A and B are shown apart, each in its own frame.
Chain A
Amino acid sequence: MKIERFTLALFLFIAGSFVLLFSSSRLHGADIRQRLLCHAMGIDVENGEYHITAQIFKPSQPGSDTPVDITQTNVEVLDGRGGTIAQAIADCEQQRGKKLFLGHLKLICLGREVDLSKPRELFDFCLGDKTVCLGTDICFGEKKAEELLQTHLTTEMISTENYIDLIDYNAKTSRCARCRLIDLLGEEDGKFTALIPVLEVQSKGSDVKEPVMCAERTAVVQNGKIARVLDAQKDGAVFLLLSNSDSAVLQAQTSGVPMAVRIEKSGLKRSMTTEEGKPCFDCRLTVVIDTLGENGGAAAAQIGKRIEESLKMAFEKSYGGDRAEDIFGLEKLLRFDMPREYLNNKGDVQGYLSKVKAKIKVICMVK
């Protein structure tokens, strides 16, 4: 018994020594001071090579007591170029002699020229780097991603939080769509339609201290390129059918008086069936409005009809041509509801969906 205990103790001592010796991070570790904490990354394509713009956290210290001055932007911008994104990132790192840490990456902004036909190849640097969060938001810049990332805002502790809050709020209020890294990584190469918000910088006069951001447009990406852009004012009803949206603000007119009405999404039922051999999209959207006065019922009926017409028009525009722009995600709905039909038409789903008929019904109730 004593010998067994001694053997066990000796074994544990040797094991513990090895643990201390080989698992010490001094051998391989990187100090945080040797890292560049990247919060946002812009990807542009110029002259056949990638141009990366990285917003790096750089605390502005007003004094010795406060580590971070929240009235400042607390960022600096690095840029790098290379034949691939990984090479461009390496270029950024070489400028400072520090490694870029992507664990805090919250936003990836793409320039208009970026080809999204092979998203897994494009974002391979994210998959290879296990620190990147799959929920990272994706957006387009107005023209170049660099212009967006050179704009620094001070409302939150870091600039990127402003962009994320803007996209999040606008997505919830049906003013734009929301696209995350995981939405693109799951797509098969080239054969997908994605809705990606467009972040724009609007400067409103020289007396404004800080530039104003706007996210009221959404790019429809088809076959890796931007096919068209949806506008919140004209196409706002489209976003009501997306999972991110909860509410919207629409204008109604009752007794000749225009009024803004806030609507909340109450329920959404979607299904795909076939009718006379053609696919049929059945959609039933229930919304609730809150109005004062006696004209609530009339306003509800008007708003319900308006949303329905708007959705039908958007449907016709997207699915009416030879190749469908699947902005409503009907391919996944088809795969779920009618897997056999989906598999029979898997080679040309966009062509199959261009024949789809829509039955859209909007029910608007007063709270």
Chain B
Amino acid sequence: MKTLTPLQLALTMCCCRLFTLLSEVRLGDSPALFMVSLAALGAVEAVLLIPCIGLIKKTGKAPLEFLYEKNTVAAQAVTVVFMGFFLWDCFLTSGGLAYYLDRFFSTDISRIAALFCAVAVAGYISSLSSSSVGKCAALAFGAFVIFMLLLGVNTVADADIMGLHLAAEHPKESFAYNISSQLSQSRELVLFVFLLSDLKQGHRRSAALYIIIALCMAQGCICLAATALGDLASATDTPLYYLSCLSSSGIAERFDAGFMAVWTALGVLRLGIIIHCISRCVKRVFAPFSNSLAAKLLPFLPAVLSVPILYTRRWKMFVLFAQPPYIIVSIVGVVPLVLLAVSKRRREVED
């Protein structure tokens, strides 16, 4: 059912992106170079989405919908690829949520219990309609913006523009590495392509809004962290968390509680959307068994698989930076490009 608006879809994807940014980001030697890399990444993402948007404009259908009309077997295969990617993303997001909750905050809740609570709430979010999720995302995004504005106001006195320097030892290599690592973390691009089928119209506008808003938010956060924290921003992989610890005002001495609230909301929302997408993939691939208990529990399997790894405290082995972005490029760019080429050829043949 097509119930999402372009802005809601864009904000939903921004929330997913911002969760990753708040969790862990490595600025490298030069924060200013990292910001330039982010701008270049925005351009790369725009180029990657062109085939998908072009296909929708030409055929009026999202990639999977178009493929299901042409060839069911190929469509099932592509759906399985999407489902596999979402299961992997669910594993990383649910485990990351529990891991960073334990790492950031001296809480009395065990990692397993935190994971269970997050998955339970995400499971509920996944059962909501797309428009309800979109509205939740808009609220979470609004809370994030207010939180960052508060951080900005409280740390602007400590900000030093000299934190945004360009002194990188190997600028070209750093530039390429930043783009590659950030693209490998942009797993929400795959979610975006999958959820485009929920839009009635405005697909191009939604893509543009997502890229622009995510870019602006990320640049603002990195700029604030680098100017307020100075060299510590480059030395740590959680600069935004430390920024919230540093901020103080006349009312609150520190803002890490606010960070926790916003970060948890974004994380649970992201997990809920991933579980929702997995459920839809399961319904398509395993249509005869879609009402069985196994099919309903499959989206939660990755979270369960992360438990032993969290329990043995080996989560860091799965850290995201070393993953190459080829899979994302293939699913987001290559598959729609192939479908676009196929649709063009068919039109030529028919003509």
* Chain A residues near B (Cβ < 8 Å): 7-8, 11-12, 15, 18-19, 22-23, 25, 27-29, 120, 129-131, 133-135, 182-183, 185-188, 243, 332-333, 335-336, 339, 342-343
Contact = CB atoms under 8 A, between A and B. Distances in A.
Given A130-B106, A332-B162, A343-B169, A19 B117 contact: yes
Contacts of A188: 231
Nearest to A338: B167
B162 A186 contact: no
B108 A25 contact: yes
A343 B168 CA distance: 8
Given A12-B120, A336-B161, A22 B246 contact: no
Contacts of A339: 30, 165-168
B235 A186 contact: yes
Nearest to B29: A343
Contacts of B253: 133
A187 B162 CA distance: 14
Contacts of A187: 231
Nearest to A333: B162
B232 A182 contact: yes
A288 B127 CA distance: 65
B167 A335 contact: yes
Interface of B: 30, 104-106, 108-110, 112-114, 116-117, 120, 123-124, 127, 158, 160-162, 164-169, 229-233, 235, 242, 245-246, 248, 253-254, 256, 296
B113 A135 contact: no
A22 B116 CA distance: 10
B248 A183 contact: no
A304 B87 CA distance: 68
Contacts of A336: 161-162, 164-165
A220 B30 CA distance: 27
Contacts of A22: 109-110, 112-113, 116
24 contacts: A7-B296, A15-B116, A15-B123, A18-B113, A18-B116, A22-B110, A23-B117, A28-B108, A28-B110, A29-B108, A120-B235, A129-B106, A130-B105, A130-B245, A133-B248, A135-B158, A186-B233, A243-B160, A335-B162, A336-B162, A336-B164, A339-B165, A342-B167, A343-B167
A185 B245 CA distance: 14
Contacts of A18: 113, 116-117, 120
Nearest to B243: A134
A10 to B, nearest CB: 12
Nearest to B232: A186
B245 A134 contact: yes
A19 B124 contact: no
Shortest 9 CB-CB distances between A and B: which pairs? A186-B231, A22-B113, A15-B120, A339-B167, A28-B108, A186-B232, A336-B162, A134-B246, A29-B108
B232 A19 contact: no
A133 B179 CA distance: 33
A8 B127 contact: yes
Given A134-B246, A185-B232, A335-B165, A11 B123 contact: yes
Contacts of A183: 230
A131 B107 CA distance: 11
A146 B104 CA distance: 32
A134 B242 contact: yes
A182 B113 contact: no
Nearest to B166: A339
Contacts of B231: 186-188
Contacts of B230: 182-183, 186
Nearest to B253: A133
Contacts of B245: 130, 133-134
A186 B162 CA distance: 13
Interface centre among A7, A15, A183 (most CB of B within 10 A): A15
A304 to B, nearest CB: 26
A207 B74 CA distance: 94
A12 B113 contact: no
Given A18-B113, A22-B109, A186 B229 contact: yes
A130 B162 contact: no
B109 A23 contact: yes
Nearest to B110: A22
Contacts of B123: 11, 15
A185 B234 CA distance: 11
Given A11-B120, A343-B169, 13 more contacts: A12-B124, A18-B116, A19-B117, A22-B109, A23-B113, A120-B235, A130-B104, A130-B245, A135-B246, A185-B235, A186-B230, A333-B162, A336-B162
Contacts of A12: 120, 124
Contacts of A130: 104-106, 245, 256
Nearest to B157: A243
A244 to B, nearest CB: 10
A185 B232 CA distance: 6
Contacts of B166: 339
B36 to A, nearest CB: 13
B197 to A, nearest CB: 23
A23 B113 CA distance: 6
B120 A131 contact: no
Contacts of A343: 167, 169
Contacts of A27: 108
Contacts of A8: 127
A7 B127 CA distance: 12
Contacts of A11: 120, 123
Contacts of B120: 11-12, 15, 18-19
Nearest to A27: B108
Contacts of A120: 235
B116 A19 contact: yes
Contacts of A25: 108
A11 B275 CA distance: 16
A25 B253 CA distance: 24
B186 to A, nearest CB: 28
